[in-house]
Amino acid sequence: MAPDAAPAQEDGRVARGRLGLIAGNGGLPARIIEHCRQSGREMFVLALEGEAERATVENVPHAWCRLGGAASALDLLRENGVDELVLAGGVRRPTLTSLRPDWRAAKFLARVGYRALGDDGLLSAVVRELEREGFRVVGADQLLDEAALPEGVLGRIHPDGDAEADIAIGLRIARAIGALDIGQAAVVQQGLVLGVEAIEGTDALLRRCRELRREGPGGVLVKTEKPGQERRADRPTIGPRTVALAAEGGLRGIAAEAGAILLLDRAEIIRLADASGLFVVGVR
């Protein structure tokens, strides 16, 4: 049975109830938890086993749930009074064997066709399923103020003409693989595509390209949003770790789609980029 609707306030707006966070890996879940702590909003975290970091959730009401345990996950969310829900953090897509779906997850997967859907298609189906269960699903960008990458250069370092040429190539490649629901990023150096993101994620892409770099001016990481991407489930992000890995890999900078990419700790991103001599630029 779906949760009751949130009560209306005197000014006609709907009062927000407890926020539920389904937490995967990466820095975004921690940012949302800190936002709720500062704003005084009650929350409950459903931490995904093998994905969420224990240090992230240890000081907030939470429970652990395996990815295939849909029935227990829904029960936990309702028992903890959740009516609004945000999905944040990366999740490595498992095989059906390792997923071990319970009856509720198996019913969902049989209906949507697990093998037929790419990552974004599957996440979109998950969001629709959660809404059918009575939850209001919101995006991380709706909770975090000024989190989206603006257009233009952040920090002191600017891309030169050669870097801009690599950015243009990277944008075409990233949009092409995004349209195929493969990944969201590419690394380009001196006109050569060193690597594209697939199931491994951006961090692993950067580590892989570190071994493939050529002599001369370093490459550029280019990251975009997938066309028609479900923004409430899989917003691409850039954080301090992205900058650190780019610097370790000898890259010259990072270019990402303005208005679509979420920044995790803008001030630290700028500090690290300036200290490392990297540019970070938002492009349309």
Output the DSSP codes for 189-241: ETTEEEEE--TT-HHHHHHHHHTTPPSSS--EEEE-PPTT--TTT---EE-HH
Mean pLDDT across 141-145:
78
Instruction: Return d(Cα 243, Cα 115) in angstroms, integer.
Output: 34
**Where do the H-state alpha helices sit in 66-160?**
70-79, 96-99, 103-112, 119-132, 140-143
Three-class SS state of 144: coil
- What's the pLDDT score for residue 9? 38
* Residue 192: strand pairing partners: 189
pLDDT in tens, 180-239: 888 899 999 999 999 999 888 899 999 999 999 999 999 999 999 888 777 777 678 898
Q: What's the chain's length in residues? A: 284
Instruction: Return d(Cα 34, Cα 281) in angstroms, integer.
Output: 26
Mean pLDDT across 137-165:
88
Three-class SS state of 145: coil
pLDDT in tens, 239-281: 899 999 999 999 999 999 998 888 888 899 999 999 999 999 9
CA 260 to chain centre: 11
pLDDT in tens, 198-211: 888 899 999 999 99
* C-alpha dihedral sign at 53, 56, 62, 68: negative
Instruction: Return d(Cα 217, Cα 238) in angstroms, integer.
Output: 22
- What's this model's pTM, rounded to 2 decimal places? 0.76
pLDDT in tens, 109-133: 888 776 555 666 677 788 888 999 9
pLDDT of 17 strictly over 60: yes
Instruction: Return d(Cα 90, Cα 48) in angstroms, integer.
Output: 10
- Phi then psi dihedrals of residue 220, to 5 deg: -130, 135
Domains, the chain, with CATH or none: 18-143 (3.40.50.20), 152-283 (3.40.140.80)
Mean pLDDT across the chain, nearest whole number? 86
- Per residue in 200-220, is it b (16+ CB within 10 Å) or e — as a string? ebbbebbeebbeebeeeebbb
pLDDT in tens, 46-100: 999 988 899 999 889 999 999 889 999 999 999 999 999 999 888 877 777 788 8
